């Protein structure tokens, strides 16, 4: 009887600890969502102060990664989790690594807002804003899927990445055409291209996050799988 109570106690402590970690991941995710929104807003409104704020706040993102990583390691040592408990911790550790890299890309995007653009160039930034909103929605949805460990939403996010890739390619082509027409604008437009690239990479990382959710819920590694394989594995 004592034995049973003890094991129940240990197990409930594990759940409590993992709940704290999951809440921290959500807080980190929320901060990064805000960072992305602020970076896009800074570009759209040419707000250099907001851009600088995004760049400075990236340090907080890094701190979150280090803290959550530590918490996960400590749970492994103390609780020696197996099977799905360990899988959850692994999924969380991979998730925060990707979230931190999304933070890096967001900082890179914010740097573009420190540049000044003429009105014609400003028009080009509208496309960046559209791509940004699209990627922002992916990030929002995948964090939502993480909170509820919802495979169906994760699958939708995973599929969305193809659309983001196509949108990114269209923008790059348009920006290259603009550079050909006005070669003096090249250095400035290159910065816009880097931002588009950063947004595309954030999309890739949201796809990774979706894969970790499927890995946790289904116990199957779906990295490097084709879209069809993935859907099959996630639904089986």
The residues binding its own copies (CB under 8 A) are 59, 62-63, 65-66, 69-70, 73, 76-77, 80, 82-83, 86-87, 90, 93-94, 97, 172, 176, 179-181, 183-184, 186-187, 190, 193, 221, 223-224
By beta-carbon proximity to its own copies, the closer residue of 70 and 232 is 70
CB of 45 to its own copies, least distance (A): 27
By beta-carbon proximity to its own copies, the closer residue of 148 and 223 is 223
Residues in Cβ contact with 47 at an 8 Å cutoff, skipping those fewer than 6 apart: 41, 113
CA distance 102 to 100: 5
CB of 186 to its own copies, least distance (A): 5
DSSP character for 45? T
By beta-carbon proximity to its own copies, the closer residue of 140 and 188 is 188
Residue 106 near residue 43 (C-beta atoms within 8 A)? no
Exposed, middle or buried by CB within 10 Å (0-12, 13-18, 19+), for 59?
Answer: exposed
CB of 90 to its own copies, least distance (A): 7
By beta-carbon proximity to its own copies, the closer residue of 76 and 149 is 76
CB of 80 to its own copies, least distance (A): 4
CA distance 210 to 188: 34
CA quadruple 144, 146, 152, 153: dihedral sign: positive
């Amino acid at each position: 009887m004592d034995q049973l109570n003890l094991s129940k106690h240990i197990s409930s402590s594990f759940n409590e600890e993992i709940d704290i970690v999951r809440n921290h991941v959500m807080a980190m995710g929320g901060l990064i969502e805000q960072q992305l929104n602020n970076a896009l807003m800074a570009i759209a409104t040419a707000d250099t102060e907001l851009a600088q704020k995004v760049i400075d706040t990236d340090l907080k993102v890094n701190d979150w990664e280090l803290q959550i990583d530590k918490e996960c390691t400590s749970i492994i040592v103390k609780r020696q989790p197996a099977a799905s408990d360990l899988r959850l911790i692994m999924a969380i550790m991979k998730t925060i690594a990707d979230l931190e890299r999304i933070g890096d890309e967001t900082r890179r995007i914010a740097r573009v807002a420190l540049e000044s653009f003429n009105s014609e160039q400003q028009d080009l930034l509208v496309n960046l804003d559209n791509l940004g909103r699209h990627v922002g929605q992916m990030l929002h949805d995948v964090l939502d899927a993480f909170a509820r460990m919802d495979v169906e939403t994760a699958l939708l996010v995973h599929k969305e990445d193809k659309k983001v890739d196509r949108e990114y390619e269209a923008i790059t082509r348009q920006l290259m055409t603009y550079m050909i027409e006005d070669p003096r604008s090249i250095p400035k437009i290159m910065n816009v291209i880097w931002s588009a690239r950063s947004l595309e990479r954030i999309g890739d990382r949201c796809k990774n996050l979706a894969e970790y959710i499927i890995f946790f819920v289904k116990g199957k590694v779906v990295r490097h799988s084709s879209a069809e394989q993935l859907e099959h594995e996630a639904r089986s």
